[in-house]
Structure 1
């Protein structure tokens, strides 16, 4: 062997030995084309969670908390990407997108499910919830489990119930008795039940996206709407409405849903972590929705831009009687088992 070649070979062997025992230049795996961080990213499970309300609402805050809890509990193995305020999907597109696997989680209002699965119209019936105790009994009891089971046929897995609160009526005139609705254009979540409800009151229901609501009121396209206190406050609807009746005539709630096929493919430990994170986020949401509605109602009462009327017992009785035909129309499609359960709930207290 030539002297020069021998020297080169000796130097090369020395460098290899030095790397092997931790000395010499940093010839890490990254320098040979291996990126440890990229490898971690490729193993990360991504959940796209799409919803349509603002980040500062109970639902928006709960989704963000859920995302952080999942990251913590899974040590970063699962990333929940949150798309709020209809930035990814609207009310019309989020359910089909979930069913076909384009996104993995949504939290639609009950009204958005009833068009696809008739049983869910149960939770839209007027005065079906008399108070917060009824809400908790339904969410945590047999009725809630029966409604979850109705999702199975559509590649959807019901995960949790989130409350936003009882709905109130806002308008540019006092709405006290059923006759006051006559001729009023009322914005609603697009829903057969809600449409029938306001037609029964001789109003003119107008279905639209939540994000269009403020401009529709400001431009006079509709005269009034129904919503929770937190939505009235955070969306500043008090700037474009002069009157509100605290009627508690309907309840705005959400169901957290995951794509069933996606869920089935998750490792058991990841499923457990997600369920634990969602249970914590659910307790947070449901407590926050109650306190936020109470606190923001007090703030609205301090304003001189909107007059607030609390429904009397006489007025409530008149509304309930006027709306009874809505029950009669939708009971057959909801089904006897669920209607019987609601009757039992109402008779138990």
Structure 2
């Protein structure tokens, strides 16, 4: 009996050890949702950098599953899912500014002059200042990426401020965008993005504004003739992870995810810059005329935004100091 008991105890202990080892080696899945096409620079960076770095460096403890092209719903839907924890991670724009306006302040007009400057500022202390605003919404911001500088496509040349008068310009139905369109002197239309092509084709609107990538991928250039390279707003994206999921990762795994996010981010910035060059060449080959504003015209565009800023400085007690910290930022 003693020998039998000893064998039973040994078997039980072995089972417990194996179970413990299995628990330690359980794979955690990181579902990553976004609204970009599979061949967009955001998804290229996820596939080529983020996913392999996370999986290899975690020795299989973490597995990354990428759900691109709105597979898990549109931006609002998957961002809500990340906040609730039903999706671990998403690459989002500034949609959460509707809950906390500071999140969207980096998208205010004429704040950045180049991709390099935007990258340094957003992935530095300025971006860190917004971190708590995200965490209050139950998401951890891992890194900032580039959607792109916004330009105006049109069915006619726009060479001066007066050309905006009577110009029917589609803008997103977001207060800052609507105010920017009004400040330009345009007749602002807030159509959904799915309606833009038909509206352009039928002349319901004369133009729209978005980064070059969106203009090309949505084929809006097929029903436009010109692009005014205003660079009037820079639209960033951010890697957001559910805060509970993040906080419950071991510190070593947090470091692995963070490092992979940073590497993927920097790769995506490089791809975004190169992609814009290629898209401009493609648009010109398709007969689109790209107009670069003169120095005088550009300054008029910048000056026209004064009321937009004055309104927000009066509305938010943090706004003026925050915006000035961006405007006065000195590169290290």
- The secondary structure found in structure 1 opposite 2:233 is strand
Aligned equivalent of 1:259 = 242
Whether the aligned pair in 2 keeps the contact of 1:58 and 1:164 (CA below 8 Å) is no
Q: What does 1:1-349 correspond to in 2, within 5 Å?
A: 43-65=26-48, 66-110=50-94, 112-207=95-190, 210=193, 213-304=196-287, 306-331=288-313, 332-333=315-316, 334-345=318-329
Q: How far apart are the structure 1 equivalents of 2:64 and 2:205? A: 37
Q: How far apart are the structure 1 equivalents of 2:273 and 2:113? A: 15
Q: How far apart are the structure 2 equivalents of 1:311 and 1:43? A: 57
Instruction: Provide the alpha-carbon RMSD of the alignment.
Output: 2.5
Instruction: Answer with 140-149 or 335-344: which moved more.
Output: 335-344
Whether the aligned pair in 1 keeps the contact of 2:119 and 2:144 (CA below 8 Å) is no
Whether the aligned pair in 1 keeps the contact of 2:155 and 2:206 (CA below 8 Å) is yes
Q: CA deviation at 1:294?
A: 1.3
Instruction: Answer with 49-58 or 173-182: which moved more.
Output: 173-182
Q: CA deviation at 1:284?
A: 0.7
Distance of aligned partners of 1:155 and 1:135 in 2 relative to their CA distance in 1, 3 Å threshold: same
Distance of aligned partners of 1:320 and 1:168 in 2 relative to their CA distance in 1, 3 Å threshold: same
Unpaired segments ≥5 residues, structure 2: 1-18
TM normalised by structure 2 equals 0.84
Whether the aligned pair in 2 keeps the contact of 1:115 and 1:192 (CA below 8 Å) is no
CA offsets per residue over residues 52-107 of structure 1, 9 Å max, x none?
12122222222323223322222332222212111212123232222111211112
Q: How far apart are the structure 1 equivalents of 2:195 and 2:92? A: 17
Distance of aligned partners of 1:55 and 1:301 in 2 relative to their CA distance in 1, 3 Å threshold: same
Q: CA deviation at 1:277?
A: 1.3
Whether the aligned pair in 1 keeps the contact of 2:169 and 2:188 (CA below 8 Å) is yes
Q: CA deviation at 1:214?
A: 3.6
- The secondary structure found in structure 1 opposite 2:92 is coil
TM normalised by structure 1 equals 0.80
- The secondary structure found in structure 1 opposite 2:64 is strand
Counting matched residue pairs gives 308
Q: CA deviation at 1:118?
A: 1.0
Q: How far apart are the structure 1 equivalents of 2:191 and 2:68? A: 18
CA offsets per residue over residues 248-281 of structure 1, 9 Å max, x none?
1111210111111111111222212211211211
Q: How far apart are the structure 2 equivalents of 1:76 and 1:132? A: 35
Q: How far apart are the structure 2 equivalents of 1:341 and 1:253? A: 18
Q: How far apart are the structure 2 equivalents of 1:209 and 1:75? A: 44
Q: How far apart are the structure 2 equivalents of 1:267 and 1:310? A: 50
Whether the aligned pair in 1 keeps the contact of 2:103 and 2:134 (CA below 8 Å) is no
Whether the aligned pair in 1 keeps the contact of 2:45 and 2:268 (CA below 8 Å) is yes
Q: CA deviation at 1:231?
A: 2.3
Whether the aligned pair in 2 keeps the contact of 1:178 and 1:322 (CA below 8 Å) is no
State which structure, 1 or 2, has the greater radius of gyration over its C-alpha atoms: 1
Runs of 4+ residues over 3 Å off in structure 1: 204-222
Whether the aligned pair in 2 keeps the contact of 1:91 and 1:209 (CA below 8 Å) is no
- The secondary structure found in structure 2 opposite 1:130 is coil
